[in-house]
A = this chain, B = another copy of it.
Amino acid sequence: MTEEHHDLQSESCRGVSRVLARIGDKWSVLIVMMLADGPRRFNEMKRMIDGISQRMLTLTLRGLERDGLVSRTVYPTIPPRVDYELTPLGHSLREPVMALGQWAQANLDHIADAQARFDRRTAAESEPAGLRPVAY
């Protein structure tokens, strides 16, 4: 960069967008966080996450594996056993993600308030004729 001009399309902004496209989906962060303190098996994760479908667990894990955030180890036993574990890269991602989590924690109420105020404001706009409630 030769100037103060922040080019939104290149460099770091592209990077954030790409990472967000990866971990911004419905399950990735949950999975990364779950693997924080050690390897887990497939069905173990499926039970822990509550609401995730087998399909989405597979797809999400494949995606994370492809990006090098998670490693997959197959034990050729019967019945088969597969362990998923965070790679060093995956672990390193936890820091910025947890920073975001703490921001979320700290501001959840603030955001809820803002939403409530916004909704009241916009509701008021669609009913600008005095303060009376609509009486059918």
Question: Could you tell me which A residues sit within 8 Å of B by CB distance?
Answer: 6, 8-9, 11-13, 15-21, 23-26, 29-30, 33-34, 36-37, 48-50, 65-68, 89, 92-93, 95-105, 107-108, 110-111, 113-115, 117-119
Q: How far is the CB of A120 from chain B (nearest CB, A)?
A: 11
In this complex, the member of A18, A21, A96, A115 whose beta carbon has the largest number of chain B beta carbons within 10 angstroms is A96
21 contacts across the A-B interface (CB closer than 8 A):
A6-B33, A6-B37, A8-B34, A9-B50, A16-B100, A16-B101, A17-B29, A19-B101, A20-B23, A66-B118, A66-B119, A67-B114, A68-B110, A68-B114, A68-B117, A68-B118, A92-B107, A93-B103, A95-B99, A96-B100, A100-B100
Main DSSP-derived SS at the A contact region = helix
**B-side contacts of A34, CB under 8 Å:** 6, 8
Number of copies: 2
Q: Which 9 A-B pairs have the closest CB atoms?
A: A24-B24, A68-B114, A15-B104, A16-B101, A19-B104, A96-B99, A66-B118, A96-B100, A96-B103
Query: How far, in whole Å, are A95 and B66 apart by their CA atoms in the complex?
Result: 28
Most B CB within 10 A of own CB, among A25, A36, A97, A104:
A104
